[in-house]
Structure 1
Amino acid sequence: MSSIATTARAVYPFTAIVGQDEMKLALLLNVIDPRIGGVMIMGDRGTGKSTTIRALADLLPEVSVVAGDPFNSDPSDPELMSDEVKTAVAAGESIEMSTMQVPMVDLPLGATEDRVCGTIDIEKALSEGVKAFEPGLLAKANRGILYVDEVNLLDDHLVDVLLDSAASGWNTVEREGISIRHPARFVLVGSGNPEEGELRPQLLDRFGMHAEIRTVKEPALRVEIVEQRSQFDQDPHGFLDGHQSDQAAQQQELIKAQNLLPQVKIDHDLRVQISQVCSELDVDGLRGDIVTNRAAKAIAALEGRTEVTVDDIKRVITLCLRHRLRKDPLESIDSGYKVSKVFNQVFGLVDEAEEASVNGQPVGAGR
């Protein structure tokens, strides 16, 4: 093992994470197609949210960047270049390239808007006639993952800024008539505990997917998770070596899925049925329809297929719609179950939960 490998801080491997399949799937699909719009992860404390997100960033292949560029500009894609790099390329200047690990940026809870978006040095701009810009966390997160823990405790205005940048792929900073913009295309991942308050519906709706996670109840699984974590803490690099082949296979799967995605097609009838589900659930706007289509294509690409199936839609539709339903405080039915029930009706499938209740088995509401 190289000296770099032994001195670098070890990150728990993504493929070793037990359970929490809903969260892992949502994250993988957003990596395959960042236009899905990020993930909101709501669940109990101590369920491995931060560990999973760091593990995903570590799993991803390195990306090519323009050396010394503070915005992680892509040397070949103008949409992911800063204005300075774009100007240099247009002028025929040679661009020095390097590679870097996909950035994973943690947004501190007390972060100010200047810290997030960056600041313009007005004095320098006026005295020297140059646009002096100090990049913020959005610049650092370009082409990576921006993680906001306890997003429901963050100032609504700041959440709005993050969502705007994630949707447009650009961050614009304006001050005293001076305007600077740079690429800010990242996968936005927010997490929170429902006991500490929900996000406003207008903000929640703008997250592409909503994963719910629960503390594992099964004793055997809990023991497995504790044992694996103990092994990692005792010998991190030995543990990583044991999962190296799984990690490499998962990484290749993601690369293939990203390349295959443009070829994936979804039948017109299936698109109509997705919109019918959204309509019957009274989902506001068309964001739910768009995200469900994108997520269904991404899961097909993940499994190496170019045609979306009904099963693909079934596996993603709850993740895409549960947070877009209008909340009725008097209703006891879980929103995930509601989405699943309407999906089964529209697609003409047997409702497994109803079938279970008919047979006298308990119905799991949080499907």
Structure 2
Amino acid sequence: MIIKNCRIIFEDKISEGSVKVNNGLIEKINPESQEDALVIDAEGAYLSPGFIDVHIHGAGGRDTMEGSYEALNVIAKAIAKHGTTSFLPTTMTVDKDEVKTAVKAIYEAKKTGTEGANVLGVHLEGPFINSAMIGAQNPNYVLSPSIEAFKYMTGEFEDAVVCVTLAPEVEGAKELIAYLKEKGIRASMGHTKATYDQAIEGIKCGVCHSTHLFNAMTPLHHRDPGAVGAIFDTDITTETISDGIHVSYPSLRIAYKQKGLDKVLLVSDAMMACSMPDGKYSLGGQEVIVSKGAARIANGALAGSVLTLDRAVKNVYANTSYPLHEIVKMASYNAAKHCGVEDHKGKIQEGYDADLILFDEDINIKKVIIGGKVID
């Protein structure tokens, strides 16, 4: 396959050229011969590495917590249409046996593959969180952090876990964080009421990421910096739900300027209503009303989003002054590093997986290629 007449988005620039794909990999950038059995004329569109979503609960009317391959496959196909070529299905704070079932299903989807985006592993969001910062998580199933509970939920599939969101200030958290670090699993600070000092202590123990910056965490105050202050004052990575609803655009600009784009990932935190019409849905066993682009539970708390990563990139591009290639990196290579797959995913480079997308000036997806195959 040859993709010609495209503007290739590299990590540090955008250049006109062509790309040859063979056996699911990027074989050659700007090959001498443009002859191939299949030639895709991009007609000047951007060729970008596929987006990688490390925080997503559902899409297409299905939810990760259904605990089935079928549900994950529907999610994978729905988000692929919006340029996401890999993702971490994300669990919720629910009964630990339901989490266990979901983890097994995610492992199986990772092993066997899907008809859409690649499953890279598990993101456990909860249940080791602070009930005082519950957000749309279910308070009935919050658990005290413990290695034993973590092992129960992950069982023989622990190796599939990429990231765990937890509250570092809760008793037992530091021991679990140390265990996760030892196992190469990313501990992320989220749904936390940590003070600045408690957050810093968590980071010293091994917290290396933070979940949905600003949301469900102690805010930055000039005399009480909170979890946000600790994130800004250290080099841990973070993620933003860039829909203009969860966080205002001025706040996003401040955060990006403070952290630097290499330390920020764009995520959707999407739930099952993503790519679906407004109406009633569910998340973590709680009813969610989706209206005018916002998903909320009965008490008004935001319940994930209906965001897609193509829209997130478009939103950041429209509301900041950063060049497009730097924003794309936030949705691709930075996430690949988070998942430990940066040696073969997340950028356009010879020998890397051919997970590629074509989009126009308005970030409208024109074509999606996953593993060298065009996705319809």
Please say whether Structure 1 and Structure 2 have the same fold, judged by a TM-score greater than 0.5.
no
Greater fraction of residues in strand: 2
TM-score by length of 2: 0.28
Greater fraction of residues in helix: 1
TM-score by length of 1: 0.29
Please say which structure displays the higher CA radius of gyration.
1
